[in-house]
Amino acid sequence: MKANPAKNVRLREQEQARSTGEARRFWHTQRFKTNMPLWLMFLPVIAFYLVFKYAPMAGLVIAFKNYTFYEGIWGSQWVGFDNFQMLFTQSQSLQIIRNTLLLSVLSVVIAFPFPIMLAIMLNEVRRKWFQKTVQTLVYLPHFFSWVIVGGLVVTLFAQTGIVNVLLERLTGQSFAFLFHEASWVAIFLGSGIWKDAGFSAIIYLAALTSIDPSLYEAASIDGAGKWKQIRHITLPGIAPTIVIMLILAMGRVMEVGFDQVYVLQNSIVSGISEVISTYIYAIGLQGGQFSLTAALGLFESLVAFVLVLLTNAVARRFGKGLW
């Protein structure tokens, strides 16, 4: 909806430029005057993307080659889709792709709302010291590497771990959380949320600052309860941010973080815990499979790209797409 007026302006200007039949007039339009400094500003950005993002992308051709150091990227032999065929004909390929999608989609769907809830909850805290303390504490886990966090999680949920000790005291029975697929997935998601929700909440906290406090006062006077205020003022206020974050999250769908899976996974739940990145790691240990890894990476990118396109198309309907 919002995009339309802009489009109209552009059309009108172009029309104007054309109708006068004199292109030079166009160079004097307000739009051009605005664009000059913007483009000046943007030039280094373009240079950056061309040099550091697009130039290396040429290296993706090795997915269709048999890359060796000796022959280099350009000299290596073309092999067509052999690398892809090799990947998708392994017996576990389908299962691994399914696991990757399952874990990542669950991560997005389940984990996504937590930072938002956290930010809203923090926003509702009246005591500044409490707010600041909790805010800093929940931001903390982001800084511990998965090696450390994984170790702690595995220790906590082991059959002799503290969680089971408590459980046994309450119910008289222990449960092998790490050995059952459902509970393992729950632990996987939970630890991801625990680690990153506080950090991601910062963005929403920033977004919350743009909401006019007087809106709440007005709503309060009208007798709207907390839930109503959150639903009708807070959430709409940060909706644009939520949409952007969702699209960006889609772009990361296929990268179920290697470290997290690697430290948490175990053989008993391998049916669910083996994902693309751990698979690449295992292959990589053989060494030198650059082309194979590149092919797998390209596949991941394609899936993520489709998801981003779709999400963005939906978001555009509400006038909030990335492009």
Count of beta carbons in the 10 Å neighbourhood of residue 153: 23
Of positions 248, 259, 313, 318, contacts other proteins by CB under 8 A: 248
Strands (E), the chain: 65-66, 77-78
Determine the interface stretch with other proteins among 18-26, 101-109, 165-173, 301-309 (rule: CB under 8 A). Answer: 301-309
User: Which listed range, 17-25, 29-37, 98-106, 165-173, lies at the site for other proteins (CB under 8 A)?
Assistant: 29-37
Residue 318 binds other proteins (CB under 8 A): no
Is 80 among the residues that bind other proteins (CB under 8 A)? no
Tell me how far, at minimum, the Cβ of 54 lies from other proteins, in Å: 7
| Helix ranges, 1-144 (H) | 3-19, 23-26, 30-48, 55-57, 72-75, 82-88, 93-106, 113-123, 128-139
Positive or negative CA dihedral for 42, 48, 54, 57? negative
C-beta of residue 82 within 8 angstroms of C-beta of residue 161: no
**How far is residue 121's CA from residue 132's CA, in Å, rounded to a whole number?**
12
Q: Pick from 168, 189, 233, 301 the residue near other proteins by CB under 8 A.
A: 301
Helix/strand/coil for 77: strand
CB nearer to other proteins: give 20 or 133: 133
Give φ, ψ of 251 to 5 degrees.
-65, -20
* Residue 1 touching other proteins (CB under 8 A): no
Query: Does residue 290 touch other proteins according to CB under 8 A?
Result: yes
Q: How far apart are CA 188 and CA 98, in angstroms?
A: 16
Structure tokens of 296? 């797998």
Judged by CB under 8 A, does residue 86 bind other proteins? yes
Phi, psi of 173 (to 5 degrees): -135, 150
3-state helix, strand, coil in the chain (%, to 5): 80, 0, 20
| Bridge partners of residue 78, in order along the sequence | 65
178 scored as a contact of other proteins (CB under 8 A): yes
Residue of 19, 21, 23, 160 interacting with other proteins (CB under 8 A): 160
What residues between 185 and 244 interact with other proteins by CB under 8 A? 194, 198, 202-203, 205-214, 225-227, 240-241, 244
Under the criterion CB under 8 A, does residue 54 sit at the interface with other proteins?
yes
Binding part of the chain for other proteins, among 20-28, 54-62, 105-113, 165-173 by CB under 8 A, reads 54-62
Query: Scanning residues 106 to 135, which ones bind other proteins (CB under 8 A)?
Result: 118, 121-122, 124-126, 130, 132-135
* Rounded least distance, CB 106 to other proteins, Å: 21
